[in-house]
A = this chain, B = another copy of it.
């Protein structure tokens, strides 16, 4: 089934550049921090009485109007000096790349290695490395300053409407402030209520926070597949998904060239990159879960830590004792990582090596500040299986592991379901907050019905909006191809935009101090028939414009 990949195809990935229609990229620095340059997207409006409108921007330098992108160089390493200034890290000769890292391919089938690599860094002498360790020590990092300015959309003080907006919303016990200060960010990170996923080996990163007292975030999954895609396509998928609003990207690649593909993605990514290391570990043992070993897994973790992956999904909550709880399910174990670990546990009749070696995993991840995304390997794969004992037993274990990881100095978020009917969504959130000490929740949907293959961005967008309102900090997108096939470019865009809708609807309902400004600006444009402003203030100006032009193409109709 593998597509034949020619080296020539992989030489220089081409990526989408240029501003999003009707807007331009600007950078804003908080007072006294000229080295902290926070990106924003500024939308010019046609009504002179309306000021330009600034929105949060995830798209990286690719949307600068004169973007000089050289994917062979990678993005500027904006955080290198910050990391070096704080100290406590050492540069060292990293682990040698092995043929198995790329699926034992060679010659023409091997994707070209990224040409501009640096030696990796790691924590040294037990000094603080992670954002959590600095936060606990009372140190406000540059990343925290960056995040605060970013969440405020560059504002230097609270909006006049902030207090009334908050009072007007319902945040179910969240503690969203009128204005985000660097100290607030530090405090949220120190309490474990927010994370700033930022591997010290990913200095190209534009820092962002995941936590329920910040704007709700969206993750987009990409992944090469043995069947259809190339390195070039994967880099472009990352660029494409952040263009439309992906806050983080998970690289779920399998098959060959995993290592080299990931390097190209990381070096060109301004957003945190997450992975599921067990996927690569499985490739290294020929796809047979039974052959997995702790040593192999450990080596894969280090490989990916050195490359700069920002968060790892680790299914350490799939304990041997829980597997039988899935026996009566309609859809058994649907998480790929969960299923791999269940097979291993049952074949060896042993406790999960991820659970048994959790301390060591923490030590490794701490040394690079890789955040945990504790995976829900027993998440329900159907409405019938929602909120069952298997799911909640695992969630309780994730709570236990959260505390261990925190003690080790690691940042943690928790993954959540899956398929859940609307009436059973809130208990997921409430239980997660209670079991996991308010560590950020990161959910896949949830899908609120199983009956609409081809439309699961919508079945899940409903659940995502609701759980985002209830307190989920980041929503993992679902595309229209979910359950059916691999998403293409249009599917990725549809998935991201759908989830930006869900995230924003959640921000609005929580009473976020600034969220409604964009709705109001767009509604004024709509009421005034300022068509261009309506398009440009929307999440997808191109589609709005095209839809309008289909039936009312005349220019006159757009300014009437």
* B422 x A454 contact (CB < 8 A): no
Q: B449 and A508: CB pair below 8 A?
A: yes
Give A residues with C-beta under 8 Å from B.
Answer: 169-170, 227-228, 330-332, 334, 381-384, 419, 421-423, 448-455, 457-459, 461-462, 465-466, 469, 480-481, 483-486, 488, 497-498, 500-502, 504-506, 508-511, 516, 518-520, 522-524, 526-527, 534-535, 537-540, 543-544, 547-548, 550-552
A422 with B519, Cβ < 8 A, contacts A453-B534, A551-B486 known: no
Q: How far is A526 from B170 in the complex, measured between Cα atoms in Å?
A: 37
Tell me which residues across on chain B come within 8 A of A457, comparing CB atoms.
458
20 A/B residue pairs, CB under 8 Å, sorted by A: A169-B423, A382-B523, A382-B527, A419-B523, A421-B508, A422-B466, A422-B505, A450-B523, A450-B526, A452-B539, A453-B535, A454-B538, A454-B540, A461-B461, A462-B505, A483-B534, A484-B547, A485-B550, A485-B551, A488-B550
- Tell me which residues across on chain B come within 8 A of A169, comparing CB atoms: 421, 423
- State the Cβ distance, A559 to closest chain B Cβ, in Å: 15
Within the complex, the shortest CB–CB distance from A453 to chain B, in Å, comes to 4
A452 partner, pick from B453, B501, B509, beta carbons under 8 A: B501
The contact of A484 among B332, B454, B548, by CB within 8 Å, is B548
Chain B contacts of A500 at CB under 8 A?
A: 452
Assess the A469–B422 pair: CB atoms within 8 A. yes
Contact among B332, B466, B485 with A527 in the assembled complex (CB-CB below 8 Å): B332
- Cα distance A483–B544 in the bound complex, in angstroms: 9
A442-B384 Cα distance, complex, nearest whole Å: 29
List 5 additional A-B contacts (Cβ < 8 Å) besides A448-B505, A450-B526, A462-B505: A449-B504, A452-B500, A453-B535, A459-B505, A481-B547
CB pair B544–A454 under 8 Å, yes or no, is: yes
A452 CB contacts on chain B under 8 angstroms: 497, 500-501, 538-540
Q: In the assembled complex, which residues on chain B have CB atoms less than 8 Å from the CB atom of A548?
A: 484-485
Query: Smallest CB-CB separation from A534: which chain B residue?
Result: B453
**Taking CB as reference atom, which chain B residue is nearest A537?**
B451
A421 with B509, Cβ < 8 A, contacts A452-B538, A548-B484 known: yes
Chain B: minimal CB distance from A241 (Å): 16
- Describe A's contact surface by its main secondary structure: helix
Residues of B close to A451: CB separation below 8 A: 501, 504, 518-519, 522, 537-539
In the complex formed, the residue of B with least CB distance to A552 is B485
Q: Which residue of B lies closest to A421 (CB)?
A: B508
Residues of chain B within 8 A (CB-CB) of A459 are 501, 505
- Report chain B residues within 8 Å CB of A469: 422-423
Closest 7 CB pairs of A and B: A382-B523, A485-B551, A422-B509, A454-B543, A450-B519, A423-B509, A453-B544
Interface pair B502/A462, CB less than 8 Å apart: yes
Chain B's nearest CB lies how many Å from the CB of A530?
12
CB distance from A252 to the nearest CB of B (A): 15
Q: What's the nearest-Cβ distance from chain B to residue A518, in Å?
A: 5
Are B454 and A498 within 8 A (Cβ)? no
- Contact A448/B483 with A523-B384, A527-B330 known, Cβ cut-off 8 Å: no
Q: How far is the CB of A391 from chain B (nearest CB, A)?
A: 15
In the complex, the answer to whether A497 meets B455 with C-beta atoms within 8 Å is yes
Contacts of A526 in B (CB 8 A): 331, 381-382, 450, 483
A524 x B422 contact (CB < 8 A): no
| Of B383, B448, B488, B527, the contact of A520 (CB 8 Å cutoff) | B383
